[in-house]
Structure 1
Amino acid sequence: MVAYCPNSRRIAFGGKTGVVVIHELRAGKAQTIQAHSRPVTAVAFSEDGKHLATYSAD
C-alpha cells in the first residue's frame, strides 16, 4: 500500500510485516514504524498532510 502526502513532501508505504515506512522526500530521510502485527492493507494521509492513518486486520 502506498499513500502520497497532499503537500508532496512525504510518501508512506505499508508492508506485509506490519511495518509502515514514511519517506521525507526533500530531506531524503525515512522513518520506519512497526505499526501492526499483521499486514498493512491501507494507508492514507489527511487532507492537510499532518496525520497518517493505517489499517490492518490485527
Structure 2
Amino acid sequence: MTFGRKTAEKLDSAAGALYRAGKKVGGEKGGRIGDAVASTVLGPIRDRCEEANCTCPDCSRS
C-alpha cells in the first residue's frame, strides 16, 4: 500500500505534534524523545509516499 501527498502531510503533522508534546512535558530532552518516537513509529509509514509529483520536504521521489 502506498500513500499520497495528503497522507504524508498528515503524518508530518502528527510527528510535529509528538515533538511539541514531548518538549512541553520534558523540555528539550522530551522533544528529542518525542522526535525519536515519531521517527520509529511514523517513519516507515511515511516512507511509503510514492506519488509521482510528491512535494513533501523529505521525499526524494520527484
TM-score by length of 2: 0.22
Greater share of residues in helix: 2
Structure possessing the higher radius of gyration over alpha carbons: 2
Give the structure, 1 or 2, with the largest relative contact order (CA under 8 Å, sep 6 or more).
2
